[in-house]
Chain A
């Protein structure tokens, strides 16, 4: 079972300070959202693929192709009917789509999926603890960043126990596949309850384990992970800010626009 998203590959992306990477990610979101022309959105995707290749994390993108594909299809199919454009093309009863809105739909599909993919590249190259440390250095209280890191660590455990519960109940004749939606939802109770109870029980144990290792001592805590912004990190941040600024500027001057909206 895929235990974690992080892939320990030691590439340039892995060595970047998580704060710099975060700046880069946010900048990428700004750039992607700045434009709504499918060509530009495709460009964003190209950038993500390059980053994925450079960080050797394309395998994770492949693994989530289902989700990415779904995002793209939903946006590309629905948005044309909700965005209004000057050149009408299709009519389905009261709703219509225009040439512009079709392009718009494509762009939204591409940029949404590109943003999610960029997030995945970020997670593939950043250890959760590094990310949590980065947030902490940016001002987030330690307890919060710890909770975040622990939550991510617990996801595979949680999934594992869910899978075990599903198997146990299936072995007693629980049929999760048949029946209409509400019946099927109700049938998940025998799965939900054991999973929640197990989670609650283990929370109690985890709290004890934490205390037993000195968590919550009042004096200053030290940190084994060291985060230092190096030249490369500052350059990256500068590029990120520059790129985001340039994108906003370009859009304000009419570039990459198919419809006059976000």
Chain B
């Protein structure tokens, strides 16, 4: 469930209805998404977009931990007694 993909926030505007919208760039295509749920998002941030809404601002530091964990696990296994 819940197809949501990361894209770069390139501009912000207020649409009628008072909802904030942003133009999100996905590698050569762009689409407007509602930013109501990510008030902290700034231009240049990556956001996760689902059904026309940004649902989180991607934490770039946390994004690396998948690879750091891989190294940690490999080391932990290597140092385990056989």
| A, B bound | no
Question: Which A residues form the contact surface with B (CB < 8 A)?
Answer: none
Question: Which B residues form the contact surface with A (CB < 8 A)?
Answer: none
